[in-house]
């Protein structure tokens, strides 16, 4: 029995170590082949996400006598698409360097219910050093939420949970959750952008708050943007005891917090899997052709892109360059003229096509943006979720710069002009170099849908300045006017302002009855992106604006964007 227990423990330890997916490269060797510089590349999560970023930890042990600059180039593939990114790292002689990289991965758009292999290849380069390559290949499921749980939880629970997941999905090899070491979790909210749920115990959460506050802060920011953080507690601890502020009825901004009591050792497999089986996840949002970005495309109106005119020019070109050229311009006896008539006719046809496209489609393009902003004055942060759709003309450059964002293409209805549809379309190549996005993020004469998120610093807020017993008087410190505003006070009474709310002016709100907010904020404003009714919680305001320049996530500047914005957050101050 003792031998059997020991063997089981060794097998369990082996499975945990294998899940870490660590690659070590001896990139420089000294005498007798002894490594002088080793680079270790670790996939922090045991499974690569279907979108967002893959946290990768790189450690360089430089035992040489020289400093080195290393460039790590990554290639993520999803169906026919490729996303290329690169990072630069410095290593000092005789020292050790560890860097946390957030590697963008290509979004997987297929809605097929099966498990497939997600692949992330990398190349390590340095001047006068032979290149080293490696890859992470991990199984992913497109019909199960992207869940992450700690290694400590996975030791006893991964096997039974994985078996239980098989009864809910079409694949027999789906995993319930990716796993990660608690000490390796990303310290940026972007590191969790490919996840739907993070599962921790109360002791693990308290440990993060004490020993890794940057990680716990990143999880809190991620939850503001729609992430779901589930904490399991043997003692039945709630948000207050765990130091988590702003949780109301299980929600926090656009995300949610759930607190479950358990025995402290093992999950009930059927109950736990059933809890997450019906969760709508972000992969579904990005792959939904009837989603918010498609609604925004519809507001751009119909456009034919002048197909029949192009066809007419091509037919005329075929007739002229063929029969007319052979029997009129270069008829028998003058065939040598073909050497200059054919190129001339081709140049004229090409010029006509260029002129036609420029006249009909123009340059740049037009776009619609819906910007949803959660303002948290106590944190001096604005949590921005942005849906945008555009119809481009001729683009001389599709590159743009964006810092600290999560960005993904979204599926649009099947049409000749959709950059991404549920049929896949042509292979595309996306590039990310630092904060510069290039490649096919924007293409000429296409319709694009994008989903973006970011955390922005702001001191904008709405404050109450009125006396008790009087209608609320508010002051806005936002650097732009609000077109309308509603406020649900602590007594669940609704107050509204249907006129504009300028910056710095006192505005008196008027009493309203429940339901008036539905006429103020029609469903079409948020299309399918957000249910504005869920934003009305006691102590919180909801407002709209035509433009929020310092909070909008800017992408391609040559597109003429039309904006609309929804802002919500706590009302500061009290009625004196």
The DSSP-derived string for 13-39 is HHHHHHHT-EEEEEEEE-GGG-EEEEE
Nearest-CA neighbor of 52 among 400, 374, 453? 453
Q: Which residues of the chain have pLDDT under 70?
A: 1-20, 111-117, 139-140, 168-173, 303-307, 359-360, 423-426, 467, 523-528, 574-576
For residue 99, the cross-strand partners are 58
pLDDT, position 467: 67
Global pTM value: 0.87
Assess contact for 563 and 550: CB atoms under 8 A.
no
Query: What's the mean pLDDT when you consider all of the chain?
Result: 86
Task: Write phi, then psi, for 250 (nearest 5 degrees).
Answer: 85, -5
pLDDT, position 10: 37
Q: How far is 236 from 256, CA to CA, in rounded Å?
A: 18
Tell me the pLDDT tens digit for each residue of 445-474.
899 999 999 999 999 999 999 867 789 999
DSSP H or E stretch at residue 432: strand 429-433
How is residue 182 annotated by DSSP?
A: G
DSSP string computed for 519-575 = HHS-HHHHTTT--GGGG--TTEEEEEES--TTTS----TTEEEEEEEEEEEEPBS--
pLDDT, position 108: 85
DSSP string computed for 114-166 = SEEEEEEEEEEEETTEEEEEEEEEEEEESSS--EEEEHHHHHHHHHHHHHHHH
Residue partners of 559: CB distance under 8 A and separation at least 6: 364, 365, 366, 367, 390, 392, 442
pLDDT, position 110: 72
Q: How far is 370 from 529, CA to CA, in rounded Å?
A: 9
Residue partners of 510: CB distance under 8 A and separation at least 6: 471, 495, 496, 497
Distances (CA, A) of 314 to 286, 306, 320: 37, 13, 10
Q: How far is 354 from 377, CA to CA, in rounded Å?
A: 51
For residue 507, the cross-strand partners are 474
DSSP H or E stretch at residue 467: none
CATH number given to 21-141: 2.60.40.10
Output the CA angle 370-374-380, nearest 5 degrees. 130
Assess contact for 520 and 497: CB atoms under 8 A.
no
């Amino acid at each position: 029995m003792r031998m059997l227990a020991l063997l089981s423990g060794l097998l369990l330890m082996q499975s945990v170590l294998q899940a870490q997916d660590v690659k070590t490269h001896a990139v420089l060797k000294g005498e007798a082949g002894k490594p002088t510089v080793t680079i270790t590349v670790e996939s922090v999560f045991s499974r690569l996400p279907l979108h967002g970023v893959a946290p990768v930890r790189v450690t360089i042990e430089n035992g040489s006598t020289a400093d080195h600059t290393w460039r790590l180039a990554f290639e993520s593939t999803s169906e026919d698409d490729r996303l290329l990114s690169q990072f630069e790292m410095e290593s000092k002689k005789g020292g050790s360097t560890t860097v946390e990289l957030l590697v963008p991965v290509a979004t997987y758009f297929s809605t097929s219910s099966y498990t497939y292999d997600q692949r992330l290849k990398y190349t390590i380069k340095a001047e006068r050093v032979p290149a080293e390559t490696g890859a992470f290949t991990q199984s992913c499921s497109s019909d199960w939420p992207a869940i992450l749980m700690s290694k400590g939880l996975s030791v006893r629970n991964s096997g039974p949970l994985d078996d239980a997941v098989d009864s809910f999905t079409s694949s027999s090899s789906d995993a319930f959750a990716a796993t990660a070491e608690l000490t390796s979790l990303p310290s940026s909210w972007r590191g969790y952008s490919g996840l739907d749920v993070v599962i921790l115990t109360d002791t693990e959460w308290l440990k993060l708050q004490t020993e890794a506050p940057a990680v716990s802060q990143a999880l809190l920011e991620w939850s503001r943007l729609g992430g779901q953080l589930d904490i399991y507690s043997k003692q039945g601890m709630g948000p207050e005891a765990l130091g988590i502020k702003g949780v109301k009825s299980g929600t926090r901004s656009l995300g949610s917090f759930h607190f479950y009591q358990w025995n402290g050792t093992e999950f009930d497999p059927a109950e736990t899997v059933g809890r997450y089986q019906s969760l709508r996840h972000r992969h579904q949002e990005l792959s939904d052709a009837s989603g918010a970005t498609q609604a925004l495309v519809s507001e751009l109106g119909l456009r034919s892109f002048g197909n029949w005119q192009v066809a007419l020019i091509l037919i005329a070109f075929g007739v002229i360059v063929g029969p007319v050229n052979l029997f009129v311009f270069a008829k028998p006896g003058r065939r040598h003229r073909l050497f200059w008539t054919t190129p001339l006719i081709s140049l004229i046809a090409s010029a006509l096509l260029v002129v036609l496209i420029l006249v009909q489609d123009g340059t740049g393009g037009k776009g619609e943006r819906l910007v949803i902003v959660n303002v948290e004055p106590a944190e001096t942060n604005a949590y921005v979720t942005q849906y945008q759709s555009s119809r481009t003309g001729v683009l001389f450059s599709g590159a743009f710069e964006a810092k600290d964002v999560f960005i993904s293409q979204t599926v649009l209805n099947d049409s000749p002009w959709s950059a991404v549809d549920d049929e896949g379309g042509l292979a595309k190549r996306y590039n990310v170099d630092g904060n510069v996005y290039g490649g096919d993020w924007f293409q000429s004469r296409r319709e694009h849908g994008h989903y973006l998120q970011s955390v922005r610093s702001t001191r904008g807020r709405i404050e109450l300045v009125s006396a008790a017993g009087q209608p609320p008087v508010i002051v806005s410190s936002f650097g732009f006017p609000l077109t309308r505003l509603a406020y649900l006070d602590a007594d669940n009474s609704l107050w509204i302002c249907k006129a504009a709310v300028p910056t710095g002016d006192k505005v008196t709100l008027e009493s309203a009855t429940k339901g008036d907010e539905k006429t103020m904020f029609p469903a079409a404003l948020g299309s399918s992106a957000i249910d504005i009714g869920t934003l009305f919680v006691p102590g919180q305001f909801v407002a709209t604006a035509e433009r929020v320049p310092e909070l909008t996530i800017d992408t391609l500047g040559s597109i003429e964007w039309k904006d609309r914005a929804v802002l919500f957050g706590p009302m500061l101050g009290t009625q004196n």
